[in-house]
Amino acid sequence: MQWKERVQKIGQITKLPENFYPKLRRYLKELKETASKKPEKMREYEKVIQLTRDIVNSRLKKIVSLASAPAQTEQILRNLTEEERFLYDRLYKLISEWRTQIIEYEEEGEE
């Protein structure tokens, strides 16, 4: 999955399995509990944490890029998880408002 996220173009985002983030959080919690009892599992836990960060950061970059581009097709947005769609919608609105304020300010300054 990490590889898929890295090789895709900026305008594309891989569809994740249903409930990916809640399942991931549960898995990390269980692994952390196991690692606290079995020190030999700590390395595995740290590796999974790093992979998780890589995936989340890669997807976050793509979501920010999508939100700052012109309106996206529903086909692309369908690949976002519920959590990601919430973030996308908020970012898109914020970026659009900011862009409008900057452009209006620039136009006022030109008069």
Domain limits, the chain:
2-110
Rounded CA separation 92/38 (Å): 44
The angle subtended at Cα 15 by Cα 9 and Cα 18, nearest 5°, is: 160
* 48: Cβ contacts below 8 Å, ≥ 6 apart: 27, 28, 31
| pTM attached to this predicted model | 0.79
13-40 residue pLDDT tens: 999 999 999 999 999 999 999 999 999 9
Rounded CA separation 86/66 (Å): 13
Per CATH, the architecture of 2-110 is what? Answer: Up-down Bundle (1.20)
Q: Confidence class of residue 6 from pLDDT cuts 50, 70 and 90?
A: low
Residue 7 has pLDDT above 60, yes or no: no
Rounded CA separation 8/100 (Å): 30
